[in-house]
Every structure is written in C-alpha cells, then in structure tokens.
Amino acid sequence: MISSILRTDASPTTLLIRLMVGAVFLSEGIQKFLFPAVRGAGRFAKIGLPNPEFLGSFVGAFEIISGILILLGLFTRLAAVPTLVIMLVAIATTKSAVLQDQGFWEMMHGSRTDWSMLLGSIFLIIRGGGAWSLDRTFSARA
C-alpha cells in the first residue's frame, strides 16, 4: 500500500507544479494564524461557515502540513487530497456568491488562483511527486 502512495512519475518538471502548490498552501496556512481576522476565523465567520475559530485553525494546520509535504515531495499524493478538498470548498463557498451577484467573468477573474491550486492538486494526485521528490527516493529504495 505504501508503495502505491509513493509511486511517482520520473518527470523533473513535476517539481514546478509541486513548488507552486506547496508554497501557496504553506503560505496561506501560515497566514491563517498570523492574520486570523482576515485570513482565518474572521474570514470563515464572514462567509458563514460554522465554528469559524476551530475551522480556521484546522484548515490552516492542514494547509501548512500539506504544503510542507508537497514541497518535500513526501507522500505527495496523500498530501494533495486535503488541498483538493480545501479548494473545492473554497470555490463553493466564496465563488458561487460572486457568480450569482457579479456574473461569470468576475467569478473567473476572482478565482484564477483557486482553479490553479485545484488543478495543481489534481495533477499531483495523479502523477505524484516527480523525479526530484522524497517519494521517488523512498520508492526507489523499496
């Protein structure tokens, strides 16, 4: 089972997607703790999510842990699953109102990073960490 999680492609260019996705999630997770009123609990309360104090810390912790694992290329497929879920929830909770109130093009403009992170997460779930990842190092030893 662990070998299927660590299995990855041999492409060195996968590193570019990994760095983008990992850095964004690590940064966003840290900001949920540094600026909770704007990025964490306060934002979650503003959009009407339940228990925003818990949820802000919970999501922030998952973003930090997943971001670090993705940057290292360690358990990349597994680490990308929470990022996929986070992006689906973010799009559903924040961009559906923009779509309804301001239209399709405003929603697309405001969600470009969301779509990039969503598709980057899907890519990593499918392809794994790539040639320069700890997944590849450990799977080669196994």
DSSP string, 71-91: HHTSSHHHHHHHHHHHHHHHI
Half-sphere exposure of 99 (CA within 13 A, CB side): 9
Closest CA to 26 of 78, 77, 62: 62
Give the chain's radius of gyration (CA, Å).
Answer: 16
AA letter at 131: A
Q: Tokens 């760095």 — which residue?
A: 19
Instruction: Count how many domains the chain has.
Output: 1
* pTM of the complete model: 0.92
Confidence check: pLDDT of 108 > 70: yes
Where in the sequence is the domain holding 8, given as residue range(s)?
2-141
Residue 100 has what pLDDT?
A: 93
- Provide the pLDDT confidence category of residue 17 given band limits of 50, 70 and 90: very high
